[in-house]
Each structure stands twice: as structure tokens, then as C-alpha cells.
Structure 1
Amino acid sequence: MLDKNQHEASTRNRNMESKDDSEVRLLDRFTWANFTCTQSTGGVAILLSETHHQFRGLQTAGVVVFILNLVLFVLFTTAMICRFVQRPSSFRKSITKPPEAYFTGSLWLSMATIIICMQRFGVPHTGPWIIVTIRVLFWTYAAITLTYNIFIFVVMFALSPLKPGTMSPPMFLMIYNAMLTGTVASAIAAGQPLSQRMAIIVAGVGFQGLGWILCLLFLPLFVGNMLINGLGPANQRPGLFISVGSSGYTIVALIGCARAIPDGYGYFAKHPTASETLNVVALWIGIFLWLFAFWLFAIALVAHLPILISKYCNNNKNNMSQQQMNFTLPWWAIIFPNVGFTIGTIYIGEELDSNAIAWVGTVMTVLVFAAWLMDLFLHLKSIFQRRIM
């Protein structure tokens, strides 16, 4: 009888240990790449507030998506903290070893969308304190992203130098957090006091320049990688959309900062024509970049046609195609870069007073929102089916 009780106790202990090990292994598979979900969800909330053709309830929908994003961000951050507490050595590996290290930028991009959403949805319903809070968060975010961009590139140069033909689309995430500093500036500057606005605009344009120039260095590597290695595995191919954000968010930042210029204050009091000149320059630079963004978007879109044709027209290869197109976290690249492209299109339409372009932006908004719902469903389905984590 005693032996039987001891055996049962030993079995329970082994089961508990096995369960604990399973939980640890589960957290080990929870990586920075999950924040591509929150950066995209926050981007969709911003897009709903920016789309030209508004209707009753759309802003409320944006608030709901924003709150969902906050909940997801807290859950993901808690999961990452638990992972690093249980396995401290995994923290160093996660920020120094590709490809996970590339996705560390998604954490800061998620924070950028939260700051913009605070401006869009929080300021109209709260007191002056939130304006000060947003300003403090902006400068903190700018300092962190500049430090991060210095650190992450030194790490990549020293520990993981890039070989010819090995450019990975998630590498753009290391740059976009600095670029989004310019986008955040364009979103919040108009709501700040005149004494603070100029500094935010100047910083935003400067950070946007840093992000755009780094993207210019990466884009030839990105295209060269496709020339050498092709379009990549089918289930990773949605990651090709990530390059679209380089031009899209530059358009948003330049036009947004130009709109926020304070007339008759400081520099613009001494140069009264500078405000109108910069608005014109920002618009036409945006138009100059828009077709390039569309070209990158079209390449990523057309790259999926052979897969779709193989899936729906070739019965003999149907099962294989289905397996190749299983959801992976890079599928969130369908959303976030195209949010910038869509908002940039909306801004150009508004500046040109073009109803046709405004409707194009509205259609793009609907498509991005539909893609977001698809990714959200597939992400949850993949978790329940244990195909990720």
C-alpha cells in the first residue's frame, strides 16, 4: 500500500514537472515577433481615425481597436517578461541573434502607435494633462529609438554581419521605429503649445530623414536578395509588404509636419512664405514617393499570384500549397506598412482636394481592415492548433 502511494506521488510530481517544463518551452517560443500583431492593430486604429470618409460609429470602432491593442500589448509584454525571468539567458540571445533580434523593433513600433492613438482618441475627451503626457512620451520615445538604432546596428555589425544575398524583410523593423518618430511628431505637433511645437516638428523631420536614408541603404539589399534568391518561401512571402512602409510613412510624416507648422511664430515669423513653401514641397515629395510605394506594394501582391493559381487550379498540388501557406507571424506585414501607404494616399488626396484620390484611400482602408481581421483570425487559429508557440 505504501509503495502504491509513493508511486502515485512520484507520478504526480513527474506530471507537475512535465507541465512546468511545457509552460517554459511555450514561453521560449513567445518571441518579439508577436509584437507585429500589436503594431498592426494600433496602426488599424489610427487608420480608422484618419480615413477621409467618416461615418457615425467609425471613431468608436477605432477606440475599440485601440483598447484591444492595449490589452494585447500588456499581455505580450507580460509573456516576454515571464520568458526572460524563467530563462535569463534568452534575453541576450533575443536581442543579438537574428532573426528574432530584427523583431525587437516591433516593440517600439507598437509604442509609437499607442502614443498616436492617445492623441487621436484621448485628447478630445480628457484634460490638458494628456497633452503634456504625450509630449513627454514623444521625447522619451525619440531618445529610446535613437539609442536603440545605434545599439542594434553595432550589434548586427559586430555579431551578425550580413552576407550578400541574405537580406531579410524583418530587418526593416530595426529602422521603422526611428522613422515612426517622425510620424508621431506629425500626429501630435498641431495639438501642442506653440512654444513646444517647433522643436517637435524639427525632431520629427530629422528622425524621418534618419529612417528614410537607412531604408534607402536597405532597399537595394532587399531587391538584390530577391534577384539572387527569388521571392522566398510561400508562407513567408507576405513579409515582402514590409518595404512599402518606407515611402508610406515618409509621406505621412512630411505632410503631417508641414500641416502643423505654426504660422507667424519663431522662424516662420521671420520667413512668412516658408510655411506655404514647405507645405507645397511636402506634398510634391509625397507624390514623388507614392508611385515607388505602389511599385513595392504591387511586387509583394503579384508575388502571391503563383501560389493562389497553384492552390486553386492544380488539384494534384492542392495539399502541398495549403501547407505552404500556413499562417506565420510575418503575415502581419500585410497590415502595418500598408497603413502608412493608405494614410499617405489619404493625405495626398486631401491636399489636392481630389475626391477620387480620397475614395481610393477609403477603399484601401476597407481592404487593410479586412486583412487585419483575417490576420487576427488566423493568428488565433494557429495558436489553438499549436502551429505557432
Structure 2
Amino acid sequence: MAPRSRTQSSSYDPEATKVEPQTQSQVKSVPFLDRLEHFTWAWFTLPMATGGMALLLAPQTQPHTFTGLETIGKVVYIWDLFLFTAVTLCITYRFVRFPGTLVASLTHPTESLFAATPLLSLASIIAAIARYGVPSAGTWLIVTYRILFWVYFVVSFVAAVGLYFLLFTSPALKLSDMSPAWDLPIFPFMLSGTIASAGAALQPPVQAVPMIVAGLTAQGLGMMISILMYSNYIHRMIQYGFPSPQSRAGMFIAVGPPSFTSLALIGMANDFPAAYRAYFGAPETTVQIMRVMATATAVFIWSLSLWFFCITVLACLAARTQMHFHLNWWAFVFPNVGFTIATISIGKMFDSPAVGWVGSAMTILLVITYLAVGWQHARAFVRRDILSQGKDEDTYWGERDHKTEKSLERAGTGEGVIVRP
């Protein structure tokens, strides 16, 4: 059966993902603008990671600073704004130039999982306003931050409900395909807590408390949905083993929810205004209770991030010779940004210099990782290993299909095999 173009159908068709292999000359002859037909939502993982690095490098975040660190952070933040704009323009061009691809991207079993990444990119952009914008601007930006928070809170909740509704309406994924990427649709709403923890301290008390309560609500829902997803994820690994090598970088996504929940809890507890209603006695008592509870809960949850981090590192090392760049490699950075900031926040709460130095070392490693993944991204783009037919998230490759393909190849047959890039 001949492959059908995605522009001919706005709904997911498994037969449409069976693509014929292209010769090297055919691949090289495709113009850049035509390659944008395969510019998927997953490209927003690049500004996601960059915005996370801007937050991590902020002097307010780091336990150890030096002259020029804030300037470096601002440069990274400006770079993030440029990347977000460029990626938005490219994906808009795809949807306009190739009719039907917007709906197809939202109903595709794997590409649709990344449809929430634009909101994730915006979360880091908004949170970084509190770090780099507000100190250099007037009170108008504090009001703007508050408005952006509430708009983001509503939009991300609608997106979380809508994207999961689409996934549940026409289920195409199987438990054998389970990966932490299934958690991405709830991730933006969960990061409302991170946005609240970054900017609530800048708000008047009467505005800060509702922001903190809303942030706690969002963080709680996101963490609970993540736990439900974790049960399926662990079930999948017990029954089928680790994901295929090209999917293992995405395993780091599981590190994110506990990490961002930990840092958000500590941040919101620290931001709770002392001069406000005495919910639990004297205002000082309220703040103390919240900080103790937040710190204890953060440590409790952070341990889950540590476990997922160690498992993922071992899984990636075991398959290192088989791993080739995919956009999910940016999961090496963004979830671990939350893991690093959470570690630093816990160290600050316990006034531990040792944990602070661990956080600084983790920051240096993440900077190196960001540069390394960026190099691999540029290399894959030039070599057309991405942004090419059959090589992006708009093609569905089931995890078990990969094993079936390998077994058929060993058996000397190619019948019924879905061709892989």
C-alpha cells in the first residue's frame, strides 16, 4: 500500500506511518521550507531547555555566584526568547503551508504528546521575568506578571483537559509504548506552581496568597496525575523492559514532576507573606509551619526524582552505542534543571554548604550537557537526521514494533516490517 501524505488526512492513520525509505539523493534534494512539513511540537523542547537554564543560572537560584553570572543568565534568557519566537514561526508556517497538519498533529499518538511543550516553554519565560525583568523594571511588570500567571493558569488547565480528552477519545497508544512523555499534557498546569513560587514574593500580600493557593492546587494535581502515570510506566518496564534506545533520553521526563514539585513547595512556602491572616496562629507561626511542612515534603518527594534519575542514567549508558539524536534528547536538560534547583533549594533550607556545592556541581554538568545536546541537535539538522520524512515525532514507531523488526531481520525476512529511519 502506497504511503498517504499527512496533508490528505486530518486524523491519525497507522497505515500513513508506514513510509518508504528514501535514497540519500532524495533526502538532500528536499528544500528547507518543504522540510518544515515535519516541524513538530517537539521542537519546543529546545526553548524549554534554554528557559530552564536561564532560571537555573539566575543569581537568586545559585548557592554560589560570581561577577557576571547575572549577565550570562540574561544572555541565555534573550537567546531563549529568540528560540521560542523562531520555533513558533516555523511551526505556524507548517500548519499554514500544509493544511490538515494542525489537526493531524493533535490526534497523532506520539506527536500529540508534545503539543503541551509550547506552554512549557512559556512557563520558563514567565518565571524568568521575576528573575531578570522585575528587578530592572517598575511596578507595571509586577502587575503584568500577576496577569500572565492567571492567564497561564487557566489556559494550561484547559490544555491539560483537552489534550488528554483527545488521547482518550481515539486511543492508539499501547501500554507497551508507555513512556514518561505521556505525562507532558499535565506538565504545563503543574508548572503554574513553579511560576507562583518564582513571583509570589513580588506581589502584594492580598494578591500573593491567591497565587500561592492556585499554584499549590496546580502542583498537587500535576504530581498526582504523574504518580498515576508512573504506575503504568513501571508496569510497562517490568513487563517489556526499558524503552527502545531512541526513546531512553525521554525517560528523564520522569525526573521532572517530583523535582518541580519540591522546588515549588519550598518556593511558595518562602513567599507566603508574614503580614497576612493568621491561619494557624500568629503570622510568624503560620510561615514557620508552612516552611517546615514544605521542606519535609520536598525531601520526601525529591527522593523519587533521585531514583528515576539513577535508573535513567544506567538505562542510557547501557544503550549508549545505539542512541542517536532525537528531539527528546532535550530531556537530558529540562527535567534535570528542576532536579538541580530542587537540590539547591533543599540545601538552602537546611543551610547545608555541602548540598550547595553539590548543586553547583550539578549546574556545571548541566551547562556542559546543554552545549553537548545543542551540538548534536545542530549536527542532526545539517545531516537531515531530523526534520525529514519518517524521522520525527509525526511518525509513530511502537516500542514493540522495534523489537519485532529486529527479530525479523535476524530471521532473514522483511515481511510486514515498518521501515525505520
- TM-score (norm. length: structure 1): 0.89
Among residues 35, 42, 45, which one is paired with 1:33 in the alignment? 42
Among residues 273, 278, 281, which one is paired with 2:290 in the alignment? 278
Contact 1:24/1:86 (<8 A) preserved? no
2-structure distance, mates of 1:306, 1:210? 34
Give the aligned partner of residue 252 of structure 1.
263
Matched, 1:196 2:194: no
| Superposed counterparts of 1:73-112, under 5 Å | 73-112=84-123
1-structure distance, mates of 2:217, 2:103? 31
Contact 1:165/1:224 (<8 A) preserved? no
Give the aligned partner of residue 181 of structure 1.
192
Give the aligned partner of residue 325 of structure 2.
327
- Deviation string 1:12-63 (CA, Å, 9 cap, x unpaired) is xxxxxxx998455311111000001110110001001112111111111111
Amino acid at match of 1:228: Q
Contact 1:251/1:286 (<8 A) preserved? yes
Matched, 1:303 2:315: yes
- Deviation string 1:134-156 (CA, Å, 9 cap, x unpaired) is 11111110010010011111111
Contact 1:183/1:252 (<8 A) preserved? yes
2-structure distance, mates of 1:110, 1:346? 22
Q: Following TM superposition, by how much is the alpha carbon of 1:193 offset from its aligned partner in structure 2, in angstroms?
A: 1.3
Percent of aligned positions that are identical: 40
Give the aligned partner of residue 220 of structure 1.
231
Contact 1:236/1:330 (<8 A) preserved? yes
Matched, 1:366 2:377: no
- The structure-2 alpha-carbon separation of the partners of 1:23 and 1:385, relative to structure 1 and needing over 3 Å to count, comes to closer
Contact 1:165/1:221 (<8 A) preserved? no
Give the aligned partner of residue 340 of structure 1.
338
| Superposed counterparts of 1:144-163, under 5 Å | 144-160=155-171, 162-163=173-174
Q: Following TM superposition, by how much is the alpha carbon of 1:368 offset from its aligned partner in structure 2, in angstroms?
A: 1.0
Contact 1:105/1:173 (<8 A) preserved? yes
2-structure distance, mates of 1:256, 1:167? 32
SS at the partner of 1:303? helix
Contact 2:191/2:260 (<8 A) preserved? yes
| Superposed counterparts of 1:224-243, under 5 Å | 224-243=235-254
2-structure distance, mates of 1:107, 1:348? 29
Q: Following TM superposition, by how much is the alpha carbon of 1:213 offset from its aligned partner in structure 2, in angstroms?
A: 0.6
Contact 1:254/1:286 (<8 A) preserved? yes
Higher helix share: 1
Amino acid at match of 2:96: V
Among residues 383, 386, 394, which one is paired with 1:385 in the alignment? 383
Give the aligned partner of residue 42 of structure 1.
51
- Deviation string 1:223-258 (CA, Å, 9 cap, x unpaired) is 112222222222321111110011100001100000
2-structure distance, mates of 1:60, 1:24? 35
1-structure distance, mates of 2:329, 2:339? 17
Amino acid at match of 1:370: I
2-structure distance, mates of 1:269, 1:280? 13
1-structure distance, mates of 2:282, 2:99? 55
Larger of the two Rg values belongs to structure: 1
1-structure distance, mates of 2:40, 2:376? 18
Indicate the RMSD between aligned Cα atoms, in angstroms.
1.8
Contact 2:191/2:219 (<8 A) preserved? yes
Q: Following TM superposition, by how much is the alpha carbon of 1:172 offset from its aligned partner in structure 2, in angstroms?
A: 1.8
| Superposed counterparts of 1:3-82, under 5 Å | 22-23=31-32, 25-49=34-58, 50-82=61-93
- Deviation string 1:115-139 (CA, Å, 9 cap, x unpaired) is 0111100111111111111111111
Amino acid at match of 2:305: A
Q: Following TM superposition, by how much is the alpha carbon of 1:176 offset from its aligned partner in structure 2, in angstroms?
A: 1.1
2-structure distance, mates of 1:151, 1:161? 17
1-structure distance, mates of 2:72, 2:40? 29
2-structure distance, mates of 1:332, 1:306? 19
* Gaps in structure 2 of 5+ consecutive residues: 1-27, 388-421
Q: Following TM superposition, by how much is the alpha carbon of 1:270 offset from its aligned partner in structure 2, in angstroms?
A: 5.7
SS at the partner of 2:239? helix
2-structure distance, mates of 1:162, 1:383? 28
Q: Following TM superposition, by how much is the alpha carbon of 1:163 offset from its aligned partner in structure 2, in angstroms?
A: 3.1
Give the aligned partner of residue 207 of structure 1.
218
Q: Kindly tell me the number of residue pairs found equivalent between the two proteins.
A: 358
Q: Following TM superposition, by how much is the alpha carbon of 1:200 offset from its aligned partner in structure 2, in angstroms?
A: 0.4
Q: Following TM superposition, by how much is the alpha carbon of 1:161 offset from its aligned partner in structure 2, in angstroms?
A: 5.6
